[in-house]
Structure formats: C-alpha cells, structure tokens
C-alpha cells in the first residue's frame, strides 16, 4: 500500500529510509499495522514482526522496564514518529467576531439610516432660497442643524461601532477563556507510563512511540498501541466505529488499542505505536480539518481537481480492508454540498433564557416599528396638509429637493424612535452576565464547559447526586472488621489474628487490587497519607498497613506478569477476583467485593482457629443481621474478602464466571467509613429551602445509603420518603416486557430520595423519567453528578451534568456541562446561586431598559406629533440609548449573587421574564417620568422663568428649556437604575450596593459624562449650559424617582389583575409540527456540534463501503454478499447512535426495512451517481 507521509502532514515528512537503521520499523509501517483489526491484525503482527515482544525490540523499548526516559532518545522519537498532539482548529479572529456582531438586524437598520442621513447632510439642494418653498414647517432645519447635520449620522455610526466592538470583545474574551479552559483540561490529563521500571504519570502530550502505558478502567486512550498484557480488557470503540458493543481485547484475538476509545473494563499494559496526527483519531481529525478547508476552497474555485493521493483504509466489520477514496474528492464535495443543504442543523441551540429574550425583543421591536411608522406617517401628513392644504402652496419642481429633505428629517425622527424602542442591550446583557458568571464560577470550583448550563442551573428543581466523593470526603478508612467469628469495633491488634489468617488477608488485599492503587507518605509533615488510585482499595491497603504488614513486599514477590487471570471490578460484577498459579500446579483465587454479593457465593467461612467450616444460608442470614446490618446502619460500606483453591488435576474453564465465582471461603468482612463532608448537610438544607429536591443515587447497600442520607439531611425523620434498591425500583417501574412505564415511574419519583445498589442504567432511567414526566405544572429541570465511565448517558441526558474534576474519569468529563474541580456538593449549590443570579440580572436590566424605552418612545412620538420636532434630539436619544443599553447592561448584569437568592423556589421553564411586580414598576415609573417631562415641556419655561424652546424660530441655538428636559430625563434614568436593582418588590434598593464596584462606577461615570455633555456638548448634542439652581432642580426631580419607587412598592401587586406578564418561554404547542424532531428531548446541540464531523466521516466511509460491496457483488456474483449482509447491522446501529444528533429531517431507512441484500443492491443501482449512494438514510 503506497502511503507516503507527505500526503498527510508535510511537517513530518522525513525520508523513510533513514529510520530503518534507527528503529526497526518506520512510522508508516506502524500506521498501516494499526489500521488492521482483530484476526487480520494478529496475522500481520505474527508475519511481519513475530510477536508484540519483537515490536518492542524494534522500537528499542522493554515491555517490563519501559523507556529509559533519556531526553535525547525521547526527542529523537518525537522527530521520527511525531508528538502526541493534535493541533486545534484555528480560533475566530477578532475581525470575524466583529463581522458576526454586525449581522444584527437592528444594527443594520441603524447603519442604513445613518448613511442616508450622512449623505443628505452634505447635499444642499438648489432653490433653498426660494420664498415659495420657505417657512413651510418652521423650525425643522435650523442653521445649527445644517452645519452639524453630519454629526447626527456620525454619532449614530459611532454608537453602532461601540455596540459592535463591545459585543465582539465579549465573544473574543469568552472564546479565549474557553480555549484557556480547554488547555487547562488537557494539561491536567495525565497518563500512567512505565519508564526505567518506575510507574509514573506524565501529561498526555509527552507520550512517545515506544512508551509502555498502563491502562485501566475509565481511561480514555491517548495514543494507539498494541496490548502486551491484559486482564479482562473491554473497550468501547463507538467513538471510532459507531459500534456500540464493547470489544474484548486479548493478545490472541485482538491486541489493537486505538486512541480516543474508552476502557470500559479491566486493565493492562500496551506499547505505544502511533501518536498525535498518526493515531487513528489523529487521522480522522486531519481529514476533517483538511477536508473542511479544502472543500471551502474547492467550492469557491469550482475546479475539478482530483483527490490528493491519500488513500486510507476503511475499517470494515468483517475484517476485509477496502481501499477508499477520502472525502476530499470532487464527487465527495458535491455530495457533501447536497448533504449540507439537507442537514440544516441549527448552529447553536438557544438556552431557555435566550429563547425567552429573543421572543421578547421581537415583540418590543414590532411595537417600536409600529410606533415609529405612525410617527413618520403623522409628521408627513401634518406637513403635507399644512403646506399644501392650509397654506395652499403649489408643488414647485425646484422645491422638490427641499421637501425630500423634510421627509428624510421625519424618517430620521422615526428611526430614532425605533432605535430607542429596540433594546439592543439585551443580547449584550446576557453575554456579559454569562461571561462574568462563568469567570467568577471558576473561583467557586465550577469549570463551565457549556455557557448556557450556568443559567439552566438556576432553574434546577432536582439534583441527583452520587454519594461517594460528592456528599462524602472520598477518604475511605477501615474502621471495623469481622474476622474469625469476632466482630472488632475498631481495628484489631495484629497479635489477635492468627498468622495464617493474617497472611490470607494481606495477600488477598495486596494481590487482588489494581497495582495502580497505593498509599504514599503525606505531602506535608503531620498530614494524612495520600491515597492514589481506587479509594476503596486504598482503604483496604491502609488496613494492611494498620495490621503492621507491608503490601508492597507482597506485590514485589508477585509482579503483575505472574497474575494468571484477573476478573476486574465492574458495575455488573460488583466484585474483583485474581487467580494465581501455585508451584504445585493448582490455582488459588482471591476475591473481594460487596459483602452481600460475595457472601452469597461463599460455602465456607474461617472460624476462630482459622479453619474453614460450612457456611449455610441460615448462617449467612444471621451474619447479615448481626454483622453487616449494624455496620451499614453506621453508614459503613461493607466489603467481604474470600478465596478459593482449585485442584491441580484439571484446569477449570475460566470463561464460565458463575462457576468460577462460587464455592468460596470467606476470610473476613470489613466496614469502611467514608465520612460525610462537614459542609454538606448545610448545603442540602439550602437546596431544600430553595425548592430543589436532592436525591442520592449510589451503588452502596441500602442501609449504608440510608444512614449517610440521614446524616446529610436528604432523609428527614418523620417524613414519608422512599428508599429503594435498584432491583425493587426496576420491578416497580417496568411492565412484563421489561419496558419502562412512565405512569408507574410518575408514582415513584416524587417521593424517592435514595436509590441504592443502582446501576448506571437505573440512574439514566430515573433522570429520563423525571425529565419526561408530565405531572406537576412545570417540566422538571434535573442536574446530575457523575464520575464513572458508565455515568456518561445520565450526564448527557440531564439538563446539567456535573462531572467530578478529581475522581472523574475522562469519559464522564467529556459528557458533562460543568466540571466540579473540588468534587464537592457545596459547589453545586454555588452553581445554583450563580444561575439564579444570571436570571435576576437580566430581569433587573429589562425592568430598567423597558422603563426608558416606554418613556422615550412616548415622548418622541407625542412631541413629534404636537411640536413637529422630537423634544429629545436624535443624538441625545442615542446617548440615552448608549447609557441605558450598554452601560446599564454592564452595571446590572454584574451584580454578585447573594444568599437570599436561595430563599425562593425555582422559576421554571415557562415563567415569564417580566413578572407582574416588574410590570407594575415599569409602568409606575413611566407614569412619573412622563408626567414630569410633559409638565416641563409645556410649562417648564414658566416654572424656570426662561424662554420657551417650543416652535423656536429658524437658526436658533439650543435652548435652556429643551436642555432641562433632556437633563431631567437622564437624571431620572440614573436614579431609576438604582431602583432597578430590586425586582421582587423589596424596599431597600441600596442593599449591598458597595459589593458591586462596577455598578457604582457606571452610575458615577454616567453622571460625570452627563455634566460634560450638558455644559460643553453645544450644538452636536443640542445642549446649552445650565445654572446651578437649574442643576439642583434636575437632580432633585431625579431623586424623586427613589421616593416614588417606595410609593410603588406600597401598592400590592395582587390588586393589579389587569397587568400582563411578558416574555414567556416557548411551549411545545407553539412549535410548528414540522419543526418538532421525533424525540424533542434527545437533541443535544452541543453534542451535535461535536459529533457532526465524526458523523459525516463515518457516513462517508459507510457509503463508500456499501458502494464497493455493490460493485464487487455485480462483478463476482453473490459470493461477497455476506460482506454486505454482515455490514448492514453496523450501519443500522450507527444510525441509532446518530439519530439523536442529526437534524430532524429523516429519510426512511430503506436498507433496513427490506432484506439487506436486495435493498443494498437495488438502492445502489437506483441511485444517481452523485447523490446519496448507499441505501442508508442521510440523517
């Protein structure tokens, strides 16, 4: 197979000949080897290399000792085989973000208006001196305006530029934060390798070809490799193949381990053979990255360039490797184009809050549009009737340009009304609020991966939490033991235990536990010893140390290579067993696991003399009552240690697990304590006060779970709550066929507080059941915590998935929305607080913004209709718009959260953004402001004893009268901004105002700017300076807002039934039928973004495979139909994987409904050459 590296990545193209001398195999050979699967791979390995050991020899590494770790050697390996790093996609540049921000509709309208206005200000029509056209609408065009005409257009453009830059800057910093966060996650990802015989953890990026890596349950493999030694290894390769079945890996059957796949069970060691862009994941990424760029270029050029000579092997199910053309060929591009048209995946799913806001903004925009249209129509009609009707003037040709200028003037007044009406600060407020929260949440140990998760958390109504590590400290210690018919309430003295029993305990613990679990000396003097690896195993190792024994000596005697067979722990077995071969030829197996599970398999138990005696069912029941339940009721987790000897005469069948794991002899039962974190009970109490139900989902037994739940305060004495075991839970909710019945589930979940002995599937069922439930008036919003590989589905299904930063596996972090960097339940409560705070900040901003809008629109409208000129000039309006939008969103969106947020119930998904109380505040303040402004407008000159500004003659400078109107308006807004800090009708609006320096500085800054504008703004701002007493009056009227606010608080909202709420969420009924995907809840758009690339890639592979099969079939007759037949299910299963991710439009799965053979052939024969070329559906 010809494959020169240069096609793939020019950076690494070094002539291959040179490496033959250095290492016994070139990168290309290894990469080709890694593309094979199962039997074929084993055959190639044995033909070309002889064995895995020989591969290690050629790579100059030792399977036991690993690499030497010599820097020059490592560097050389990096040069020859590449480094373990896949370059990320390029970030958007600041200019691209600016361009995106400019796409906003209101901004576009503004830009057009500004450009028209600018153009007209430089255009002085002839005939301007004509008497006949003259004073038709006195006071519209004064000399100041004609000179400063361009200022208005320029000012509009300037404010647009500011809004755009602020938005783009926000996006940019958000993107930067996210990248920083990504790199932080990547740096924290370490992997265990062996170098110089030492087991060390190194950052994933430092792994090189030839490293010997240790792999265990829950790992995400960072590079490709070949298995050297494995125990019961099962891998989930769905991320590469789309096959959901777990693949068993063994030296004889399938030793190939691929990067990006997840270890679901077992442990082992592998030699790394390909890293970075040469690993299987890397190849796909390069194809995707290069593919996107190339396609764009090609589509632009439209040239029919052929495919680059880069052929990659398709992974086929039946082990037949086919040569395929990568997706970069022209035909591929055309297909992709067609598909891109079909698959219109929405770019980013709007969160609940954004959905509500968009609808609200549209409603406000429509109202503003109508108002501005009416304003323009009234002005035009008034002008026409007055000029041509009342004054009886003829329409003269030379006057046309002047009339047009009047009309444009009216149009600009109309646009100004629209500008003020449209709250373009809204999207800004959301962005600022979310970005600010995310940044601050980092300090509260919440690493937010998806922005909207932060705000969804504010609506959470239920939290399903793990027990270990989240509610408890995850520092396990053995505190009780039952050995030789004696129950020790604390750790027994080593003298008290017979030497042979002690020996069994020490061996059973030391050998039958992952060798990656160990206890290291404390980091600080006087600290606790550090537990590394599985915490339960660490507790048992600690028990061995407490018995004054040394587990490391035992492990040195029995290194991992000597272990004959290992049944690793998984969520189904709930136990772990290790088999050793004795010198006599017999076998001894040590087992440990959950006590009720292991004791069921025990037929003997060691008595006080250390001899086995028969252990009957009634003995077991008695032991459960006397030993295990008392331990569990103290909140201890009980673990049973057992062993079994097999005779030398016949080797048992190691694959029939049920027979091997029976007839055991119980050595001891230990009680392990995992103390509740001291801060948890308080945090749970806060959740309950906030209307959030906390449920505990754990794998522990029900008594332990109940004890811990009571200590935490999840179960309260005297309340009628349910504690169920997984089995019982399933019996209650499933019908005879084993399907989950929603009605049955709805009877259980409202009262369920503890689910014990639960499997990951139970967790997923519970979460899905609560989310899909229709009882109650609101849909439940569920948050879930998880750390294990198998928690992935539940984390994805939940509205917000929390992964554990310390104990969590890579798989769990990948599926989550927020990572808890300290694994602590209290951090979840912080997240709730921040989420609610985001919601409230937006509401505060809305309350303030809408008051300004209502007042400004009405003033501009009535003013224009009565005096032919808006009392607030366009530039003044834009200044108001700027403070009220941009600055206010900064001030109100960055309010820090306070504990009182946790004293109310969650808002729920379809609670309107603007409550009745807020509507009362908005309208109440609008009434005050309008009354003041109209009083000043029509009677202000008498009150202040100044000249009237109404109907001022032509060319008059800005009047004091209109300046006072403008100044008072702004002062009222400033003081109303303080009122807007409270939205639930609280009286003390100054409460903890000093905690928000941004708010204080914005208010003071605006005030200072207003002084400058009034005193020195002159013609551009249509202002003239005011005296001190006039300033005091303006400020006094502004302070009146605060007093008026107290008055509004006294009016009970319950009496104002006529007030409407606004800004509801979208209910399902309102979505047009065709937009509803089959399974509304399943669409996870963030995941869509992630997986769309992979899906296109798999789809391409699959399509080409089917094509090749069909062509081949026509050539050779029916002999290869088996291939097509065999591959059919894989396509189907992949579609089940993909269905949730793709866009709602599905085409029928033709190739599955009819018999696979005929349909695949028929579909291929029938389909046109460039279209979708296999019978599979295009999701």
Instruction: Give the range with max mean pLDDT: 32-36, 211-215, 858-862, 1168-1172.
Output: 211-215
Mean pLDDT of 547-576: 84
Whole-number pLDDT of residue 1154: 39
Integer Rg of the chain from CA: 37
Yes or no: say if 214 and 516 are a contact pair by the CB < 8 Å rule: yes
What counts of helices (H) and strands (E) characterise the chain?
Answer: 42, 28
- Three-state SS for 501? helix
Question: Using an 8 Å Cβ cutoff, are 840 and 903 in contact?
Answer: no
In the chain, the percentage of residues whose pLDDT exceeds 70 is 75
Return phi, psi of residue 665, to 5°.
-115, 125
Per the annotation, the verdict on 466 as an active-site residue is yes
Q: In the numeric block, which tokens belong to residue 754?
A: 């503890």
Burial 89-113 (b: 16+ CB within 10 A, else e): eeeeeeeebbeebbebebbebbbeb
Phi then psi for residue 450, to 5 deg, are: -120, 120
pLDDT of residue 1101: 54
| Whether pLDDT at 1141 is above 70 | no
Please tell me the predicted confidence (pLDDT) of residue 291.
44
With 80 as the cut, is the pLDDT of residue 1153 above it?
no
Residue 1164: pLDDT band (50, 70, 90) is: very low
The predicted pLDDT at position 481 comes to 92
pLDDT-based confidence at 1099, cuts 50/70/90? low
CA distance 454 to 9: 39
Those residues whose C-beta lies under 8 Å from the C-beta of residue 290, and which sit 6 or more positions away, are 328
Residue-wise pLDDT tens digits, 601-636? 999 999 888 889 898 999 889 989 999 888 888 888
Q: Are 24 and 80 in contact (CB under 8 A)?
A: no
Give me the pLDDT at residue 1107, please: 56
Cα 828 from Cα 694, distance rounded (Å) = 11
Taking the model in full, what pTM does it have?
Answer: 0.67
Of 1135 and 600, the structure prediction assigns the larger pLDDT to: 600
Q: How far apart are CA 840 and CA 981, in angstroms?
A: 9
* Residue 739 clears pLDDT 90, i.e. is over it: no
User: What percentage of the chain has pLDDT greater than the value 90?
Assistant: 7
- CA distances 91 to 84, 97, 179, 675, Å, are 21, 10, 9, 45
Task: Please spell the DSSP secondary structure of 581-602, one letter per residue.
Answer: E-TTS-EEEEEEEEHHHHHHTE
Q: What six digits make up the tokens of 1028?
A: 């001190």
- Point out the least confidently predicted range of 25-34, 709-718, 794-803: 25-34
Measured N-to-C along each axis, helices 874-882 and 400-421 cross at an angle, to the nearest 10 degrees, of 20
Per-residue pLDDT at 747 exceeds 70 = yes
- If 0-12 CB within 10 Å is exposed, 13-18 middle and 19+ buried, where does residue 64 land? middle
> What tens digit of pLDDT does each residue of 1018-1053 get?
777 778 888 899 899 999 999 999 999 999 888 887
The pLDDT of 487-502, averaged and rounded, is 88
Residue with tokens 């709250």: 423
Q: Tell me what the mean pLDDT of segment 226-237 comes to.
A: 84
Q: Do the beta carbons of residue 291 and residue 328 sit within 8 Å?
A: yes
> Considering only CA atoms, which of 445, 1086, 448, 463 is closest in space to residue 817?
448
The predicted model gives 580-596 an average pLDDT of 89
User: How far is Cα 60 from Cα 56, in angstroms, rounded to an integer?
Assistant: 6
Instruction: Kindly give, in sequence order, each residue whose CB lies less than 8 Å from that of residue 262, ignoring residues fewer than 6 positions away.
Output: 218, 219, 220, 221, 235, 236, 239, 789, 810, 811
pLDDT grade, residue 125 (50/70/90)? low
53, 401, 819 from 784: Cα distances, Å: 45, 68, 11
Instruction: Out of 211, 219, 452, 466, pick the active-site residue.
Output: 466
Q: Mean pLDDT over residues 543-570, rounded?
A: 86
Q: Please tell me the distance from the alpha carbon of residue 436 to that of residue 997, in angstroms, as a whole number.
A: 14
Tell me whether residue 813 is exposed, middle or buried, using C-beta atoms within 10 angstroms of its C-beta: 0 to 12, 13 to 18, 19 or more. buried
Average pLDDT score over residue span 692-706: 87
Please write the tens of the pLDDT for every residue from 824-854.
888 888 889 988 888 888 888 888 888 888 8
Ranked by mean pLDDT, which of 122-126, 148-152, 418-422 comes out on top? 418-422
**What is the 8-class DSSP label of residue 217?**
T
pLDDT at 930: 92
Q: What is the mean pLDDT of the chain?
A: 75
pLDDT score, position 603: 92
pLDDT for the residue 344: 33
d(CA 460, CA 908): 8
pLDDT at 1105: 57
Q: What is the pLDDT of residues 471-480, one digit of tens each?
A: 888 788 899 9
Higher pLDDT, 778 or 545: 545
Over 90: is that where the pLDDT of 266 sits? no
1075-1089 tens-digit pLDDT: 433 333 333 443 343
The rounded distance, in Å, linking the Cα atoms of 426 and 449 is: 23
Rounded Cα distance, 574 and 945, in Å:
90
Residue 142 has pLDDT above 80, yes or no: no
Q: How far is residue 819's CA from residue 807's CA, in Å, rounded to a whole number? A: 11
The single residue listed with the structure tokens 């589930």 is: 745
Better-scored residue on pLDDT, 9 or 381: 381
pLDDT of 777 higher than 50: yes
Structure tokens at 177: 């934060």
* Site of tokens 């920083």: 180
- Report helix, strand and coil shares of the chain as percent, to nearest 5: 55, 15, 30
| Bridge partners for 588 per DSSP | 580, 645
Beta bridge partners of 226: 256, 271
Q: Are 278 and 285 in contact (CB under 8 A)?
A: no
Q: Return the pLDDT at 968.
A: 92
- For 68, 183, 188, 202, 263, the CA distances from 205, given in Å and listed in that order, are 18, 11, 11, 8, 19
Which tokens is 474 given?
């995850």
Roughly how many angstroms between the first and final C-alpha of the chain, as a whole number? 33
Token pair, residue 764, equals 């997923």
pLDDT band at 640 (very low <50, low <70, confident <90, very high): very high
Name the pLDDT band for 281 (thresholds 50, 70, 90).
Answer: confident
Render pLDDT for 347-388 as a digit per residue (tens, 0 to 9). Answer: 344 566 777 777 787 788 788 888 888 888 888 888 888 777
Lowest-confidence region among 18-27, 87-96, 445-454, 748-757:
18-27
Of 103-117, 198-212, 529-543, 781-795, where does mean pLDDT reach its minimum? 103-117
Helix (H, G, I), strand (E, B), or coil: what is residue 478?
strand
Across the range 282-301, mean pLDDT stands at: 56
pLDDT at 192: 85
pLDDT, tens digit (0-9, with 9 covering 90-100), for 643-689? 999 888 888 888 888 888 888 999 999 998 888 888 889 989 989 88
Q: DSSP letters of 1126-1153?
A: HHHHHHHHHHHHHHTTS-S-----HHHH
**Backbone angle region of 802, left / alpha / beta, with phi > 0 → left and psi within -120 to 50 → alpha:** beta
Q: How confident is the model at residue 942 (pLDDT cuts 50, 70, 90)?
A: confident
Q: Would you say residue 973 has pLDDT above 60?
A: yes
Among 99-113, 253-267, 720-734, the range scoring the smallest mean pLDDT is: 99-113
Q: How confident is the model at residue 884 (pLDDT cuts 50, 70, 90)?
A: low
The region, left, alpha or beta by phi > 0 then psi within -120 to 50, assigned to residue 199 is: beta
The closest of 207, 324, 220 to 271, measured between CA atoms, is 207
Check residue 1078 and give its pLDDT: 37
870 vs 866: CA distance, rounded Å: 9
Question: 582: which residues sit within 8 A by CB, 6+ positions away?
Answer: 588, 648
- Give the Cα separation of 1055 and 18 in Å (integer): 88
CA distance 12 to 78: 10
* DSSP symbols for 291-309: HHHHHHHHHHH-------S
213, 269 Cβ separation under 8 angstroms: yes
Q: Which residue has the higher pLDDT, 562 or 294?
A: 562
């Amino acid at each position: 197979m010809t494959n020169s590296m240069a096609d793939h990545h020019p950076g690494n193209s070094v002539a291959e000949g040179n490496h033959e001398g250095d290492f016994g195999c070139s990168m290309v050979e290894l990469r080709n080897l890694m593309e094979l699967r199962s039997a074929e791979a084993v055959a190639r390995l044995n033909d070309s290399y002889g064995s895995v050991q020989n591969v290690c020899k050629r790579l100059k590494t030792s399977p036991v000792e690993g690499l030497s770790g010599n820097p020059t050697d490592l560097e050389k390996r990096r040069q020859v085989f590449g480094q373990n790093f896949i370059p990320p996609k390029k970030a958007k540049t600041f200019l691209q973000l600016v361009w995106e921000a400019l796409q906003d509709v209101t901004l576009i309208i503004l830009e057009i208006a500004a450009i028209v206005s600018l153009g007209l200000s430089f255009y002085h029509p002839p005939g301007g001196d004509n008497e006949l056209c003259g004073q038709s609408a006195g006071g519209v065009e004064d000399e100041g305006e004609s000179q400063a005409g361009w200022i208005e257009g320029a000012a509009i453009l300037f404010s647009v530029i500011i809004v755009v830059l602020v938005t783009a800057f926000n996006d940019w910093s958000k993107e930067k934060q996210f990248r920083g966060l990504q790199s932080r996650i990547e740096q924290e990802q370490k992997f265990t390798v062996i170098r110089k015989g030492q087991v060390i953890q190194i950052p994933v990026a430092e792994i090189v070809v030839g490293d010997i890596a240790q792999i265990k349950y829950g790992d995400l493999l960072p590079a490709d490799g070949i298995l050297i030694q494995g125990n019961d290894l099962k891998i989930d390769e769905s991320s590469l193949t789309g096959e959901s079945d777990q693949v068993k890996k063994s030296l004889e059957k399938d030793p190939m381990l691929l990067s990006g796949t997840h270890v679901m069970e077992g442990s082992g060691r592998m030699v790394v053979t390909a890293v970075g862009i040469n690993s299987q994941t890397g190849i796909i990424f390069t194809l995707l990255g290069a593919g996107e760029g190339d396609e764009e270029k090609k589509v632009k050029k439209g040239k029919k360039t052929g495919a680059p000579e880069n052929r990659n092997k398709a992974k086929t199910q039946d082990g037949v490797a086919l040569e395929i053309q990568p997706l970069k060929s022209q035909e591929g591009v055309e297909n992709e184009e067609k598909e891109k048209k079909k698959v219109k995946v929405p770019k980013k799913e709007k969160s609940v809050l954004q959905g509500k806001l968009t609808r609200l903004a549209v409603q406000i925009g429509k109202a503003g549009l109508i108002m501005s249209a009416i304003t323009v129509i009234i002005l035009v009609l008034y002008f026409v009737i007055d000029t041509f009707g009342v004054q009886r003037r003829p329409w003269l040709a030379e006057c046309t340009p002047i009339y047009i200028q009047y009309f444009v003037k009216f149009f600009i007044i109309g646009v100004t009304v629209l500008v003020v009406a449209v709250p373009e600060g809204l999207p800004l407020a959301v962005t600022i609020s979310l970005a600010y929260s995310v940044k601050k949440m980092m300090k509260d140990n919440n690493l937010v991966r998806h922005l909207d998760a932060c705000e969804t958390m504010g609506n959470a109504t239920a939290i399903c939490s793990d027990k270990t590590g989240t509610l408890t400290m995850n520092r396990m210690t053995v505190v009780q033991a039952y050995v030789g018919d004696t129950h020790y309430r604390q750790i027994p003295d080593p003298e008290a235990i017979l030497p042979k029993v002690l020996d069994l305990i020490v061996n059973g613990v030391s050998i039958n536990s992952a060798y990656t679990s160990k206890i290291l000396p404390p980091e600080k003097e006087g600290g606790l010893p550090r537990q590394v690896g599985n915490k339960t195993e660490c507790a048992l190792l600690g028990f061995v140390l407490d018995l004054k024994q040394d587990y490391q000596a035992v492990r040195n005697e029995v290194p991992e290579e000597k272990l004959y067979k290992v049944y690793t722990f998984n969520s189904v077995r709930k136990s772990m067993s290790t088999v050793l071969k004795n010198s006599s030829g017999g076998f001894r197996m040590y087992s440990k696991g959950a006590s009720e599970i292991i004791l069921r398999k025990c037929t003997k138990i060691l008595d006080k003399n250390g001899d086995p005696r028969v252990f009957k069912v009634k003995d077991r029941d008695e032991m459960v009552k006397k030993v295990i339940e008392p331990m569990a009721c103290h909140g201890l987790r009980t673990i049973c240690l057992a062993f079994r000897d097999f005779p030398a005469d016949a080797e048992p069948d190691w694959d029939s697990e049920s027979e091997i794991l029976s007839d055991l002899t119980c050595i001891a039962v230990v009680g392990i304590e995992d103390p509740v974190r001291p801060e948890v009970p308080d945090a749970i109490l806060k959740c309950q006060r906030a209307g959030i139900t906390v449920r505990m989902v754990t794998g522990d037994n029900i008594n332990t779970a109940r004890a811990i739940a009571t200590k935490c305060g999840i179960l309260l004495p005297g309340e009628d709550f349910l504690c169920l075991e997984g089995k019982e839970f399933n019996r209650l909710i499933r019908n005879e066929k084993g399907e989950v019945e929603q009605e049955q589930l709805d009877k259980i979940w409202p009262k369920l507080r503890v689910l014990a002995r639960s499997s990951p599937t139970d967790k997923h069922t519970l979460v899905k059941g609560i989310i899909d439930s229709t009882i109650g008036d609101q849909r439940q919003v569920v948050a879930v915590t998880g750390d294990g590989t198998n928690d992935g589905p539940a984390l994805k299904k939940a509205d917000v998935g929390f992964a554990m930063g310390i104990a969590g596996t890579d798989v769990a972090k990948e599926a989550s929305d927020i990572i808890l960097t300290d694994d602590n339940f209290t951090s979840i409560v912080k997240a709730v607080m921040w989420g609610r705070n985001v919601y409230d900040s937006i509401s505060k901003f809305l309350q303030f913004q809408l008051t300004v809008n209502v007042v400004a629109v009405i003033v501009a409208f009535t003013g224009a209709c009565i005096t032919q000129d808006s009392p607030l000039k366009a530039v003044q309006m834009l200044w108001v718009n700027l403070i009220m939008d941009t600055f206010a969103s900064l001030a109100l969106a960055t309010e820090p959260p306070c504990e009182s947020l946790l004293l109310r119930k969650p808002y729920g998904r379809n609670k309107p953004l603007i409550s009745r109380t807020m509507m009362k505040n908005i309208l109440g303040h609008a009434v005050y402001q309008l009354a003041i402004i109209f009083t000043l407008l029509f009677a202000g000159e008498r009150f202040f004893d100044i000249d009237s500004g109404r109907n001022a003659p032509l060319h008059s400078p800005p009047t004091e009268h209109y300046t006072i109107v403008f100044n008072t308006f702004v002062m009222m807004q400033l003081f109303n901004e303080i009122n807007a800090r409270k939205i639930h009708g609280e009286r003390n609006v100054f409460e903890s105002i000093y905690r928000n320096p941004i708010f204080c500085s914005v208010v003071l800054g605006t005030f200072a700017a207003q002084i400058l504008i009034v005193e020195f703004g002159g013609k551009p701002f249509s202002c003239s300076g005011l005296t001190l007493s006039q300033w005091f009056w303006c400020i006094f009227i502004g302070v009146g807002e605060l007093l008026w606010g107290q008055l509004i608080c006294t009016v009970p909202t319950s009496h104002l039934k006529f007030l409407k709420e606004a800004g509801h969420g979208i209910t399902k009924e309102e979505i047009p039928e065709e937009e509803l995907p089959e399974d509304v809840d399943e669409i996870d758009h963030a995941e869509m973004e992630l997986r769309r690339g992979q899906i296109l890639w798999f789809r391409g592979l699959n399509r080409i495979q089917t094509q090749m099969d069909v062509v081949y079939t026509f050539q050779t007759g029916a002999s290869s139909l088996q291939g097509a037949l065999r591959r059919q299910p894989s396509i189907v299963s992949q579609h089940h994987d993909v269905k949730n991710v793709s866009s709602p439009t599905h085409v029928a799965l033709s190739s599955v409904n009819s018999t696979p053979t005929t349909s695949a052939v028929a579909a291929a024969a029938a389909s046109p050459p460039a279209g979708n070329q296999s019978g599979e559906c295009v999701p």
